[in-house]
Amino acid sequence: MIQSCLTIRGHLSKSLTTAKLINIRHAHSGIIDPLQLKPLQQEGGLLDKLISAIRRRSAPAVWKAYTDLKDSGKIKEVPIQYHSMTLQSFRLNENGYYSSDKLKFYKKCISDILVATKKAQYKLDVRDYNVLLRLYGQSRDWKAASDCWNEIKVKKNEESYNLYMQAAVQCKKYDEVFKIFNKMNNDGIQPDVTTYNTLIEANGRMGNVTEADKLFRDYFAPKNTENKSTSIISKYFIKDANLSTYTPSAAPLSRCIPPPNAVLSPTTDTFEALIDAHGRKKNTPGLNYIYKTMLPQYDIKPDLKIYNALIRWYCHSGDIEAARNTFVDMEASGIKPNVAVFNHLFRHEALKRNRPKVAEAIIDYMRKEYGIRPSTSMYATLIRIHNKHNREDEANRLHTIYKALKSKKLEEQ
């Protein structure tokens, strides 16, 4: 997880030298705290606006203030550490959702900032590169992620490797995940829970459910409770005769991942990766076992991500009853569903069962009970279904709602 840039306490004057700054950054493993910076009145207010925007953690405001400094010709006067704080303002939240438009905006901002940092002769440190790796991964830009990785000259930390592995998963470069992991071991970096979660996720996406289970058994399962010869959920999984085997790069996985001396504690991300692995193979007995047995066994309370994953894959497997029961459990636990949860139920009724009226009722429930705005794609799906069956009145009615919703979204942008 990316450490907060707000770690160093104390005031910074303009007289702080680059050498002292580097020493402070190295000693505290962080970046100057913008909340502790004194306004630099001699900069005519533009620099103060930048610091104010950084304090508010508002990326658009940071970008506006930074651009104003460039346009005014004062960017060269900006203290070197401010470039890093500007860059860190575009750090993505680990579990946040970002639209493609927002990611494009962030990438453009980052690109311009990097040009300015080079002109200012500011050298990025590992935290800066980690910001870039997370952004490029979520943007599904493998070229940018790999170019960024190859550019790193400073010592990489475990977070760097984890982010690069996650970028490979997000960009569907699954073979690369295991190559990165091998390099991580060769470089003497100790894998952590996030590392193994990513390996489980990669195996699941490749269809290697048994290998995903084996990773969980070897690194998270109590050593005295499971049979070593089988995976922890293998008895709940009917193997597909056509299941692809390990790719060449993943084949030596069991040799390059020695079992740890101590068992790691699984997180919700660990179980989300397991659920994803079994859900992709429509293994509902495995999903039930994870949900009803394994989560309580490890004292893990399902969160929104777990419920979302379960409902998604139950719908994918055609087990709508299990999906509904899981939704009821989520409501009973006090967790508010989001539009993604409803979208799984919606698509099952609209596309799999061809019941547009039931699908529209799900939209109405989402809107009235939780105040969640439907996505325009939901209405577009219903319109296509009604048009296909020559129900013009219904299509026109929904198209009116669709236009109003789209117009409102444009106004808010």
Does the pLDDT value for residue 27 go beyond 80? no
Query: Is 226 part of any domain?
Result: yes
Are both 281 and 395 inside the same structural domain? no
Residue 114 lies in a domain: no
pLDDT, position 21: 40
From the list 195, 140, 141, 135, the residue with the least C-alpha distance to 165 is 195
CB 330 within 8 A of CB 309: no
Please report whether residue 52 resides in a domain. yes
- Report if residue 214 sits inside a domain: yes
* Residue 331 is assigned to a structural domain of this protein: no
Q: Examine the domain organization and report whether 221 and 296 are in the same domain.
A: yes
Whole-angstrom Cα distance, residue 190 to residue 392?
61
- Do residue 227 and residue 245 come from a single domain? yes
**Average pLDDT of every residue of the chain:** 83
How many domains, the chain? 4
Residues 196 and 319 in one domain: yes
Query: Mind listing the pLDDT tens digit for each residue in 324-357?
Result: 999 999 999 999 999 999 999 999 999 999 999 9
Could you tell me if 171 and 197 lie in one domain? no
State the pLDDT at residue 70: 83
Helical (H) or strand (E) element with 31: strand 31-32
Q: What CA–CA distance (Å, rounded) separates 238 from 209?
A: 10
pLDDT score, position 221: 75
With respect to residue 118, please indicate whether it lies within any of the assigned structural domains: no
pLDDT at 33 over 80: no
pLDDT tens, residue by residue, 99-121: 888 999 999 999 988 988 888 78
User: Does some domain include residue 42?
Assistant: yes
pLDDT at 228 over 60: no
At residue 18, the pLDDT reads 40
Domain boundary among 326, 359, 386: 326
Query: Does 113 reside within a domain?
Result: no
The tokens of 207 are what? 């269809």
- The verdict on 314 and 290 lying in the same domain is yes
Beta bridge partners of 8: 32
- The domain of 230 spans 192-326
Residue ending a domain, among 297, 326, 355, is: 326
Of 409 and 179, the structure prediction assigns the larger pLDDT to 179
Question: What's the Cα-to-Cα distance from 146 to each of 142, 163, 166, 390, rounded to whole Å?
Answer: 6, 11, 12, 49
Same domain assignment for residues 200 and 316? yes
Same domain, 292 and 205: yes
Claim to verify: residue 233 and residue 354 sit in the same structural domain: no
Statement: the pTM of the whole predicted model exceeds 0.95: no
**Same domain? 280 vs 239:** yes
Final residue of a domain: which of 326, 350, 365? 326
What is the rounded CA–CA span in Å between residue 354 and residue 61?
46
> Are 162 and 269 within one domain?
no
Domain match, 162 and 176 both: yes
